[in-house]
A and B are shown apart, each in its own frame.
Chain A
Amino acid sequence: MKNYLFIMRQPPHASGRVQETLDMILTAAAFDQQVGVLFCDDGVLQLASGQNPAAIGLKDTARIFTALEIYDVDALYAEAESLAARGLTAADLILPVRLVSRADVNQLMNRHQLLIPD
Chain B
Amino acid sequence: MPPGFAAGSLPIRFSTLVFYLFMKFAVQLNSSPYAAVAGLDAYRFVLAAIQAGHQVLQVFFYREGVYHAFRYATPPDDEICIGRDWSALAERHGIDLLVCISAAQRRGLLCRDEAARQGKLDDDLAPGFRIAGLGQWLEAGLQADRCLVFG
By a CB distance below 8 angstroms, the chain A residues around B103 are 20
| B147 close to A31 (CB less than 8 A) | no
Instruction: With both chains docked as a complex, state the minimum distance between the C-beta of A116 and any C-beta of chain B, in angstroms.
Output: 6
Select from chain A the residue with minimum beta-carbon distance to B136: A27
The answer to whether A27 and B149 touch across the interface, beta carbons within 8 angstroms, is no
Chain A residues within 8 Å of B142, by CB:
1-2, 33
Q: B134 near A27 (CB under 8 angstroms)? A: yes
The B-contacting residues of A in range 6-60, CB under 8 angstroms, are: 16-17, 20, 23-24, 27-28, 31, 33
Nearest-Cβ distance from residue B57 to partner chain A, whole angstroms: 14
Given contacts A17-B63, A20-B103, A114 and B137 within 8 Å (CB-CB): no
Binary A-proximity of B10-32 (CB < 8 A = 1, otherwise 0): 00000000000000000000000
Interface magnitude class on chain A: 10 to 19
| CB of B149 to closest CB in A, whole Å | 6
Instruction: Say yes or no: is B135 at the interface (Cβ < 8 Å to chain A).
Output: yes
Q: Tell me, in angstroms, the Cα distance from A82 to B137 when the chains sit together.
A: 30
Contacts of B149 in A (CB 8 A): 116-117
Alpha-carbon separation in the docked complex, A28 to B106 (Å): 21
Measured between beta carbons, the chain B residues less than 8 angstroms from A116 are: 147, 149
Q: Size of chain B's interface in residues, with CB distance under 8 A? A: 13
Residue-by-residue, is B104-138 near A (CB-CB < 8 Å gives 1, otherwise 0)? 00100000000000000000000000000011011
Does the CB pair A27–B63 fall under 8 Å? no
A residues within 8 A CB of B137?
Answer: 24, 27
| Contact for B135 among A1, A17, A31, A117, CB less than 8 A | A31
Q: Is B74 an interface residue (CB 8 A)?
A: no
Q: A114-B147, A116-B149 are known contacts. Are A28 and B63 too (CB-CB below 8 A)?
A: no
Contacts of A17 in B (CB 8 A): 63
Min Cβ gap B36→A in Å is 13
Report the bound CA distance from A88 to B138 in whole Å: 34
CB distance from A13 to the nearest CB of B (A): 17
For residue B33, give the distance in angstroms from its CB to the closest CB of chain A.
18
Which chain B positions have C-beta within 8 A of A24?
62, 134, 137
- Cβ contact within 8 Å between A28 and B102: no
Which residues on the A side are within 8 Å of B138 (C-beta)?
27-28, 31, 33
> In the bound complex, what is the Cα–Cα distance between A70 and B135 (angstroms)?
19
A-B contact pairs, 19 of them (CB 8 A): A1-B142, A2-B141, A4-B141, A16-B106, A17-B63, A20-B62, A20-B63, A20-B102, A24-B62, A24-B134, A27-B134, A27-B137, A27-B138, A28-B138, A31-B135, A33-B142, A114-B147, A116-B149, A117-B149
